[in-house]
Every structure is written in structure tokens, then in C-alpha cells.
Amino acid sequence: MKYTVEAVLASGGRLGKLSQTSTAGTIAMETPMCTLFTKGGSAPHLSAAMLQRISQVPEVACMSLGSIASHHENVREFGKGLGEFSAMKDKVIFTTLHDATAAVASGKNDKGGVAVWGKGGKMKLDPQLYMKVQEAFCPDWFQALSDGDTDKTCGKKRLLKAVDRTLDFLDDIVEMKNESEVLKTSSLIGAIEGGYSVEERRRSAKETAARPVDGFLIEGFEKGHSSVDLFADEEFMTVLTETMVHLPDDKPRMMDAVWSPLQVIRAFRLGIDVFSSAYPHTLTEKGFALTADYSLPPTSQPAKLELEGSKENSASSGFYVDLNDKRFFESFSPILPGCGCYTCANFTCSYLHHLLNTSELLAYVLLTIHNFEQYFKFFARLRETGRQDKLSELEQSLARQEGGQREDVVR
């Protein structure tokens, strides 16, 4: 992995280029960017063929160990790594500990290892087993073992343990990686812990940056996926800002969280480069569809209505729509007029409403296609507005569009 900062924006955030040499050759990426969210090694609800119908799919596939770690022996016997095993050999494979959309059972980590959760229940990973799993999967990037089971309620003693354990795990993993022939070309992503303690975050950032890691994954603000809006908390932004000060500029900073486009902009301005695409999956699971307008000024009718403060057409105005609502029973337009995705080009809101109300699996296939397409489009737009020095305008536009909806409905 090689990361280069191209520009630091006056409004906050940075534009950069990230390159990775893999079995598919050298892959070049621009930041800010998101990874492809997966479940069990594949994009949720989509076959490999259906995934190809989506434009601007991220080059990096993020695979959490909870749902796949128990299959590491099968992948080892297969002998070609997780990318080939999951039909994603053209992607950069990034293995992380936890599913960004799932709550994590608390109190299961200790100095001996970390618990991950899948369909078969809990699997305890000590550093030796963890590296055995990684050698079987042969990822391009992998997160170091970490104790991120912290949030705002944790006291100083618990945060001290989280940082100490994570650094101890990292030392063990660095040593084993240096001895591994299989993982010698894989990039190691160090985890930054410390909850809401500025002191512990500073220590974690400094100590992790002093070790041979290729990037940083910042976690430990919430115990897995929760309903907490971190950006409503000034303390979170203060702690994150202080953490960034102690990380080197030449390595990417990542957060694996469920964030709307507006929240992504706020995190980007604080210094995050790489994000998860878990947010569109959470929308899909609830029957919601992204309808945000990323143009400046907004050109879609729903966005115009929001910006003008209109109360008309409330069924389709806002940042997303709930296609379960009976108002879509006779709505024979696409989800978002002008959207070029396969779903909007071929199906109406009425049909999607019918599929949801009859519990047809096709509903989630079509919604995943639309929501992924719109979310991936947002990151291209984010980079473009950054280059044009219009990030503040985009943030204000999205804030107005999203203003009428409660984010905790999605989260």
C-alpha cells in the first residue's frame, strides 16, 4: 500500500491517491473513498453478475471476520486466498474484525484475545489463531487484532486496558507477520483505541504510528453498531481531531462506521480518508431508498422542495424514502428520476412497494443496486467538490435535504 496526499483543503480534509499491488496488478484509487461492504464474503443480496450492473464499485472489498473466520480451513485447502474463493479476485481484499452494521456483545475480550460473532456464535481469536486465519485468507490489507469494545460510558481503567491490549496484540502480529511468507506483501492496518479519552487516544495514536503499520483504523467510540449519532457530540469531534494530530500524513486513516453522506463529509473534514459502504445496506434492510441530490445547486424535484421549505409531496421529499409506505402503491415513477441504475431504469416505486409488502427477496436485490449506486456516486461527487473547493456548499445542501428526517430511523 502506498498513500500520497494530493491536496489539503482549506475547508478541512485531504485529497489523496492510494495504490495497491495485488494479484490483479497495481490498482490506483483516489481518496476520499469507500470500501465495498460485504456479508459472508459477497455483496449483500447480490450475485457477482448483479454486482457488475452497478457503476463505480469500490476497488476494495471489506470482509469482516465474524461471518467467515470459521471457514478459514476450507479457504486454506482451496489454496488461492479469499479473493479467489469469494469470486473477487479483481478486488483489493481488506479483512476487518467486526461487521460495521452489527452490535457487538460486550465484555468478551481479554488479554488473551478478541471475540468475533457469526451465525455459529462466538469465536475467540488469540494472536496465533488470528494470524492462522489471515494466512489462509491471504488478504491485501488486514486489520490488526484490537480491543474496540469501548464507548462513552467506559472509565479510565477500561480504556487503559483497551489500548494496552491492542498494542500488545499489534506487537505479536508484527512479529508473526515478519516471519510469514504468505503475508509478507500484505498491508497491516493498526487500530487506534482509547474511547473518549484524549490522553489514551493520543497514546494509542503515537504508539501505533511508531510501529510498522501501513494505515490506521480508528474505532472504539461505540460498541459495534449503535443508534448514537457521534456528530451530535462535540466531545467526539474534539477527541477525533486530537487523534489525527498524532497520525502521520503519509498513511491512510479509516473508520468502519454506518454513516450517511452528510456524516461522511463531517468525518472527512476531520481527517478520515477511507469509509465503509455499510450505510446503504442498512437502508436496504428497512426498505428505504437513497434520494439525495448531490448536484450544486440541487436539480431534483425532491431536493428543490426541501431547499425551498415546501411541505408538498412529503412522500418523496427528503434524503431517502420509505418504499414500504402505502403512498407508493400507485407510484409508477422510478425511485429517483434521472438515476442511471438498473433498478430505476427498469422498475417503478409501485413495483418495489409490492415486492416489499409481499416479502419478495427481489426487493432487496433491487434496493441494494440502487442504494449502492447512489452511495458510490456520492464519493465521486465528494472528490469532485473537494477539487472545486465547494465542499461547504455540498455539506449545506445535504444538511437541508436531510434536515426533515431523523437519522436514528435508519441507524
Domains and CATH numbers, the chain: 32-276 (3.20.20.105), 290-410 (no CATH)
Spatial strand order in the sheet of 2-8: 2-8, 14-22, 25-31
The answer to whether the Cα torsion of 72, 221, 381, 187 is positive or negative is: negative
Confidence of residue 316 (pLDDT cuts 50, 70, 90): very low
Q: What distances in angstroms separate CA 26 from CA 3, 19, 90, 181, one per listed residue?
A: 13, 7, 11, 20
Average pLDDT, the chain: 90
Q: Where do we find the cell 463529509?
A: 265
Residue 325 to residue 71: CA distance in whole angstroms:
40
Alpha helices in 338-405 (DSSP H): 342-346, 349-357, 361-387, 391-402
- Summarised one tens digit per residue, pLDDT across range 93-132 is 999 999 999 877 788 899 999 999 887 888 999 999 999 9
User: In angstroms, what is the C-alpha Rg of the chain?
Assistant: 21
Flag whether 370 is marked binding.
Answer: yes
Which region holds residue 83: left if phi is over 0, alpha if psi is between -120 and 50, else beta? alpha
Residue 189 to residue 355: CA distance in whole angstroms:
41
Flag whether 339 is marked binding.
Answer: yes
Q: What number is the average pLDDT over the span 309-325?
A: 62
Chain centroid, CA 312 distance in Å: 34
Please say whether the beta carbons of 11 and 391 come within 8 A.
yes
Question: Strand, helix or coil at 8?
Answer: strand
Question: Strand, helix or coil at 204?
Answer: helix
- Longest distance between any two alpha carbons in the chain, whole Å: 64
Residues 6+ apart with CB under 8 A from 299: 293, 338
**Is the predicted pLDDT of residue 182 greater than 90, yes or no?**
yes
- Summarised one tens digit per residue, pLDDT across range 241-261 is 999 999 999 999 999 988 899
Q: Which three cell numbers stand for residue 151?
A: 464507548
Segment among 33-42, 310-319, 386-395 with least mean pLDDT:
310-319
**Is the predicted pLDDT of residue 160 greater than 90, yes or no?**
yes
Please say whether the beta carbons of 59 and 92 come within 8 A.
yes
Q: What number is the average pLDDT over the span 77-106?
A: 92
Flag whether 34 is marked binding.
Answer: no
- Summarised one tens digit per residue, pLDDT across range 183-200 is 999 999 999 999 999 999
For residue 118, list its beta bridge partners.
Answer: 121
Please say whether the beta carbons of 370 and 343 come within 8 A.
yes
Q: pTM, whole model, 2 decimals? A: 0.92
Confidence of residue 23 (pLDDT cuts 50, 70, 90): low
| Angle between helical axes of 278-285 and 361-387 (0-180°, round to 10) | 150
